[in-house]
Structure 1
């Protein structure tokens, strides 16, 4: 495991990369979501998730495959690889007496006779050296000289490579004993050993899995097991911004016809059962379900778009870009908050009886607030990256707000707090567009972390490249959400959904504005103190700032400014720790 502060990274690599190095083997593969990576796995030991690690213990004895049944403390022999045992005997890796045991076990299985483990003798981790019959295990384990509670726990505790004596009970009542060592599950590259067959780690998962697509909500499975998707485009389909094709529809819908009109929306609730493949249909028609990439169904070959970044020359340049990136996150959060508080409040008299308008305002406000909070999380993530790659003792939190934002195609525009006008929403779409704006800002940073300069600390860049990749991925969600917001608000005039389309900045002495600035400065102070202390030591200050940001405090103060007819603005702070930062 990694010793980097705060994050545990597995050093094992997946089986298909067994022959690559631990560094070059870790690559994102098109079509594999982040949830398929080892560091994203839940690692649960029970069926129903992406793997069942109990299957490791099926091969704890070399050349023998067994089923370990913990409930009744049984270990039953399933197969013996006699050819592999013979090769080991010829190579001198096992004795002729031990090969005779393998031969006896293989012969019994060939005759259809049952075999089970009756006794184990070996080193059982913290329990030390033990010898016991499986019949002695009674689901209890406590006190001095205790034994494991069951057969699976016993096998799980065996020390890798330690001497092991296994006795097998034959159907005729006799016993044969094998002297061996507990098998290794990983090879020298950290991948699963070649003893495990493809599919063996997942063979005991939920069956049939297709029923789970039918009955489980979208938060149960990983992202590559969807229940709602964007529909497949018709031939010569519309552009990416045609909103009627961005509505989510049931993935397992029974009507699989691709037509010029999109299928009915899945809606806010589970689609009616009659519109979906039933439990029997989905087992027979599963091949009709379309491949889903980036939330959209497709029947065409997929070629991922590649945004090539230019690695920065050295650590100092990378740090300057990261500090500006943190400032951009703060700046767009300012703009989004100004827009969110410019909507009419839920109790506005003009919304009485206008249910569609009220719902659109409520949804747009909530989504913009969600994105603004997401930008603050990104600010935290960027500060974590800066801390990790800064020379020891030099970290200074990056909380200076950018004074200019990157534009698609190059150049910059000034930061502008304003109401959620159509022009503002269009600018938000541009700033969040894939490979442009905020997203494009991180491309060179990511390229640098993937190909670090010589003066970067060894092993650090690879870890934090994943954090930057996550920021880029979330930017794509923000882009799509702003497209949705534009669609929701497009049916109404600006004066219908805005408090005051012509709202202006408040005077610096306006009382509500002054109270908001005081609270804002307090949040910056807490964040600076918390970030400076570290990811864990500064938790109290960071949590306090989070409560102030998302709780009633800041929200009430910003609402008061908006209710007074002004734009919610956060003034530049003269303190050097928080003063504006310009593009590098």
Structure 2
């Protein structure tokens, strides 16, 4: 076996070494997905497929001719014709990849710009005939189409040719014949006679409005909401990117992801976003504020006091305990919801059953989130040389200077409106000492911690950002749980009606409470063992999976009898 790898492909070892260029600088080595690419936007290559013409392939807009030079310009196609923005590619004649030996004509009028781009990409090297001219709504005058096609048929085969038809100063249509443009020169590098420097990269997320319009679903390049509430009375869900002059599409059409009748109706294009972005409204608390008026009920955000390193260590320990507590609170609320699979549950319709399922599922997901929060915080403690805090919090507020705590933690309670409201309220910002305040103060202070490395500061800041965002999201999800349970009659919502109660001696539930407590204790014990290992080692929370399942089985068995698990850890030994 050879001890060295010898590059054989042209991408890794170019035919000619170009001083200053790495071996990955050839166009075919680009890491791109064609929309728009990484090192360069490969769509720009095919914008120059015909010598002397630059064609813009626009989504939902067609293939518009935007620039002219060389022979087409010399034959009478002027830039002023193109500056109207209404001159499009009508057809392309040449050999395509599916049948490279046969000349075919592809009609491009009325096609989406990306469909035309796909056709152009498929063109083989060789002679092409293109027809261009004005178009409105993807249509051209029938008489002009017929005349242009007749003229194209008369051009000598295999020779450059051109005919430009005008009506006064206006362009009627034009026909051109030439070889498909080459992008690379004889040395295998981009031919600057075809594409000037900067041409290949001009559409890489620049200007910023393009990606702002083009990317959605919380993709990093689009720091905007997809769906907002409008300023109607009552507010209606709306596509934030719709034309500012349009009302929201009816919600019943939102199952259609289209631009005619679905929720995307009226969406402004990338080009329009460049020109009109300032028309988009402010969004405050998920609601548009076109009038510029802010609801007086919106809380003013005050600056936070950053935590120093010593204060931050205290905060991390406290927040890990709070996450543990919230995990248990969500679990108790989850098991209190009436199980929708119960055969004797007299729900009136399928909608009520779905509401119960959704509420139970959401509370379970929230408990999992909090367990992950606890795991991340404990990992950070271990990385910073501290012991992981696996205890439950006795109070919500923390004095970061003294380490003292205050403020009662909400009790373990079934998923009543009052209990859900208390859980949501515990995740808000108030006085600089509540958990949300501490996360914000940590986030503000971490960049200045000289006691840790730059990598550690970056990880700490990332975790803080994640936990802040998820805590805010939890409040919204708790509101969703309340709204879902409100669809079910009060008498059918919950199977556990009160907080945990001790089982009497000899009660059948006593053994279940003990089994659940031992499983809980075993889980915490396994976590402690894993966190005692050096940073970067250990399997948390995977190590506690088996006792977690045992705890869940005990909680479910008790809840089916109307009793909540006490969640008091017992040493299994």
TM-score scaled by structure 2? 0.55
Check if 1:53 corresponds to 2:38.
Answer: yes
- Contact 2:282–2:289 (8 Å) recurs in 1: yes
- Contact 1:505–1:567 (8 Å) recurs in 2: yes
Aligned pairs for 1:99-248 (under 5 A) are: 199-202=202-205, 218=217, 224=223, 227=226, 229-234=227-232, 245=235, 248=237
Check if 1:566 corresponds to 2:560.
Answer: no
Structure 1 CA distance, aligned partners of 2:515 and 2:430? 38
Check if 1:412 corresponds to 2:407.
Answer: yes
Going from structure 1 to structure 2, the CA distance change for 1:275 and 1:332 (only over 3 Å counts) comes to same
How far off is 1:319 after superposition? 1.1
Q: Deviations over 1:415-460 (max 9, x none)?
A: 41111112101101201235674322322222221333x5445553
- Contact 2:347–2:492 (8 Å) recurs in 1: no
* Residue in 2 that maps onto 1:450: 447
How far off is 1:479 after superposition? 0.9
Where relative contact order (Cα < 8 A, 6+ residues apart) is larger, the structure is 1
Partner of 2:426, secondary structure, is helix
2:328 is aligned, of 331, 334, 352, to 334
- Contact 2:244–2:280 (8 Å) recurs in 1: no
Partner of 2:566, secondary structure, is coil
* Residue in 1 that maps onto 2:261: 274
Give the greater-gyration-radius structure (CA). Answer: 2
Structure 2 CA distance, aligned partners of 1:46 and 1:359? 40
Going from structure 1 to structure 2, the CA distance change for 1:267 and 1:570 (only over 3 Å counts) comes to farther
Partner of 1:505, secondary structure, is coil
Structure 2 CA distance, aligned partners of 1:450 and 1:430? 29
Structure 1 CA distance, aligned partners of 2:187 and 2:454? 52
Structure 2 CA distance, aligned partners of 1:435 and 1:473? 17
How far off is 1:472 after superposition? 0.5
* Residue in 1 that maps onto 2:365: 370
* Residue in 2 that maps onto 1:515: 515
How far off is 1:379 after superposition? 0.9
* Residue in 2 that maps onto 1:402: 393
Going from structure 1 to structure 2, the CA distance change for 1:256 and 1:265 (only over 3 Å counts) comes to farther
Check if 1:438 corresponds to 2:435.
Answer: yes
Going from structure 1 to structure 2, the CA distance change for 1:559 and 1:55 (only over 3 Å counts) comes to same
Check if 1:543 corresponds to 2:542.
Answer: yes
Q: Deviations over 1:226-264 (max 9, x none)?
A: 55x131234xx8xxxxxx75x754556789656xxx975
How far off is 1:55 after superposition? 1.4
Structure 1 CA distance, aligned partners of 2:425 and 2:350? 30
Structure 2 CA distance, aligned partners of 1:328 and 1:556? 24
Structure 1 CA distance, aligned partners of 2:221 and 2:525? 38
How far off is 1:559 after superposition? 0.7
- Contact 1:419–1:503 (8 Å) recurs in 2: yes
* Residue in 2 that maps onto 1:481: 477
Q: Root-mean-square deviation (CA), in Å? A: 5.0
Going from structure 1 to structure 2, the CA distance change for 1:289 and 1:305 (only over 3 Å counts) comes to same
- Contact 1:342–1:498 (8 Å) recurs in 2: yes
Going from structure 1 to structure 2, the CA distance change for 1:330 and 1:456 (only over 3 Å counts) comes to same
Q: Deviations over 1:28-59 (max 9, x none)?
A: xxxxxxxxxxxxxxx963133xx622319x9x
Partner of 1:341, secondary structure, is helix
Going from structure 1 to structure 2, the CA distance change for 1:458 and 1:342 (only over 3 Å counts) comes to same
| Number of equivalent positions | 388
Partner of 1:54, secondary structure, is coil
How far off is 1:318 after superposition? 1.9
* Residue in 2 that maps onto 1:131: none
Query: Which is worse superposed, 527-536 or 262-271?
Result: 262-271
Going from structure 1 to structure 2, the CA distance change for 1:570 and 1:455 (only over 3 Å counts) comes to same
* Residue in 2 that maps onto 1:356: 351
Partner of 2:408, secondary structure, is strand
Q: Any unmatched runs of 5+ in structure 1?
A: 1-42, 59-65, 79-108, 114-169, 179-193, 238-243, 576-584
* Residue in 1 that maps onto 2:529: 529
